[in-house]
Amino acid sequence: MSTEKNLFTPIKLGAYDLPNRIVMAPLTRNRAGEGNVPQAVNVTYYEQRASAGLIITEASQVSPQGQGYPATPGIHSAEQVAGWQKITEAVHAKGGRIFLQLWHVGRISHPSLQPDGATPVAPSAVQPKGDAMTYEGMQRFVTPRALELEEIPSIVDQYRQAAKYALEAGFDGVEVHGANGYLLDQFLRDGTNHRTDAYGGPVENRARLLLEVTEAVVEVFGGDRVGVRLSPSSTFNDMTDSDPRATFGYAIQALNQFNLAYLHLLEPSEADLRYGGTPIPTKEFRPLYNGLLMVNWDYDQAAGNAAIASGDADLVSYGKLFIANPDLPERFAKNAPLNEPNPDTFYGGGEEGYIDYPALAEVA
């Protein structure tokens, strides 16, 4: 009898016993209702995917200042808490577990998305290349305003309060979004952080905000109900770093102090290579981290099983496959055909490409 682990080997993740290691990755879908409040169609979407070992929700801004895209849900108002509560109740009724991803986009925003048309904030006034997605269509990113030193504690407080709201909404835990070129990533990397104060310069300073935010969130939920997501190789949102191995090596080792539920790392992609990134396979960071490692990036079932069997990862998060296959664990278990995701319906819109992908039973 084989003792080799795979996607269907149960695992204890922090405070929870998961029936499988197939995680639904955080996926921005731009379908929140008025006031960035989760609505009925969002309840159906998450409920359909409750067979995941763990659901990590789409990124949700911790404050109005943290918003960078239209119709993304927030976790900073009573109405948003009530909207999310319907989702957590629906997922729990199906036997699932769900973490909320906490998000501040920093410079990846536009004044039209900010309170009172304010300039987006960042560690330094470095304009990102490219365009922001706004309610008026694509518009050029602006040069952000560098946060003043005395403003930084209020950023930490935004995450702390958002975690309290997430607890009130019934989430099993939260994931701190430190990846993909958003605010915490902007502070961590020297391509976007040109500060000369306690939050800039050496990596110990650049990692300070990530660690302070993680500490604040852990104070609310406990470390065994908190995850952190990082993207060491990513060039997404015009991100660079002069020494990503050293930068992320330091950050990953520093996160050990919190005894987190997991660390979630993105594998390098072809786009990262194309835009001058340093491709670092996540397994290189494995020896630096003491806890559970979750990996993400275009894994299929075979690659997921291989990563777990080899010990390179403990869990695998799936994005596009979960968009198109609400019952992905069942399909994997039966080696059943998979629905093809339609990229044209990933962002915005209504039910099409959101809650109308058929389950296996419907196809049969």
Residue 283 structure tokens: 């397994």
Beta-strand relationship, 11-13 and 54-61: unpaired
Buried b (16+ CB within 10 A) or exposed e, 116-142: eeeebbbbbebebeeebbbeeeeeebb
- In this structure, the number of other CB atoms found within 10 A of the CB of residue 330 comes to 14
Place of tokens 């008026």: 136
Beta-strand relationship, 226-230 and 173-177: parallel
Active-site position among 45, 46, 69, 182: 182
- Return the CA Rg of the chain: 19
Q: What separation, in Å, do the N-terminal and C-terminal C-alpha atoms of the chain show? A: 32
C-alpha separations of 325 from 132, 197, 274 in Å: 29, 47, 30
Alpha helices in the chain (DSSP H): 40-48, 78-93, 152-168, 183-188, 203-206, 208-221, 244-255, 270-274, 301-310, 320-324, 328-333, 360-363
Q: Is 182 a known active-site residue?
A: yes
What's the DSSP call for residue 288? G
Burial of 52 (0-12, 13-18, 19+ CB in 10 A): buried
What are the residue numbers of the active site? 182
